[in-house]
């Protein structure tokens, strides 16, 4: 009889021993899949056989290395815009000329100006400094100069001074365009009947004021007759 009573006590002891072992075992998801390993904290050593999270170092460096102002031909250019549009900030360079300059320098016209290396910027500067020989003759803005007879391309302050000298020359020789410049009127053949009025208007009477002015004039005439 003693043997039968010992059996249930042994079974209870075995159940108690199995319970803590089951709690200590790692929990598993449905379908038998194990939980994903947690990512190591920053500064922790990489564990062998586990993939580490990729850090976008290239993007961080690019953000820090961008130049917001690039100086070419004594002009501050916008570093956040593309090369072809940034070069148009120089007076005397348009979109077509800027594309030619970028291709002559071996730079992508659609690249961001602030991300260019120092070598690429120097190449653009050299092309801009020697722009007379870099562009074809038909693209230059100063062909057959009056004083030298050469084909030139003026930029920046040189272009502003060149335009002023041309206007002064036209005023000196008293040509039609020079006289129009002196009077401050339109030069290129635009109509001036309804626009371009710079001085005081003469001979303009409003419709409402016209009858009152006519009545006043008639009264003055009657008084003179008397």
Q: What is the CATH number of the domain that holds 86?
A: 1.10.8.50
- pTM confidence score: 0.58
| pLDDT tens-digit map of 119-129 | 999 999 999 99
Contact between 153 and 140 under an 8 Å Cβ cutoff? The reply is yes
pLDDT score, position 1: 47
Which stretches of the chain score pLDDT less than 70?
A: 1-64, 201-212, 221-226
Q: Which residues pair with 75 in a beta bridge?
A: 72
Give the pLDDT of residue 8.
Answer: 57
- How does pLDDT run across 82-104, given as a tens digit for each residue? 999 999 999 999 999 999 999 99
d(CA 78, CA 69): 5
pLDDT at 183: 92
In which domain, by residue range, is 95 found?
A: 59-139
Q: Is residue 174 part of a domain?
A: no
User: Is residue 21, in this structure, part of any structural domain at all?
Assistant: no
Is residue 190 assigned to a domain? no
């Amino acid at each position: 009889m003693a043997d039968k009573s010992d059996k249930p006590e042994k079974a209870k002891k075995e159940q108690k021993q199995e319970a803590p072992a089951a709690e200590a075992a790692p929990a598993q998801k449905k379908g038998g899949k194990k939980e994903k390993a947690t990512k190591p904290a920053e500064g922790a050593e990489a564990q062998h056989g586990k993939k580490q999270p990729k850090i976008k170092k290239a993007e961080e460096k690019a953000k820090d290395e961008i130049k917001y102002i690039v100086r070419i031909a004594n002009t501050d250019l916008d570093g956040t815009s593309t090369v072809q549009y940034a070069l148009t900030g120089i007076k005397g360079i348009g979109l077509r000329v800027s594309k030619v300059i970028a291709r002559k320098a071996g730079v992508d016209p659609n690249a961001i100006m602030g991300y260019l290396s120092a070598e690429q910027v120097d190449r653009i500067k050299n092309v801009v400094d020697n722009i007379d020989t870099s562009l074809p003759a038909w693209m230059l803005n100063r062909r057959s100069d009056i004083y030298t007879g050469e084909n030139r391309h003026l930029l920046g302050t040189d272009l502003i001074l060149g335009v002023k000298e041309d206007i002064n020359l036209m005023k000196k020789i008293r040509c039609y365009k020079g006289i129009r410049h002196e009077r401050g009127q339109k030069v290129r053949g635009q109509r001036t009947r309804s626009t371009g009025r710079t001085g005081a208007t003469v001979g303009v009477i409003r419709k409402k004021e016209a009858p009152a002015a006519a009545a006043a004039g008639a009264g003055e005439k009657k008084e003179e007759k008397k």
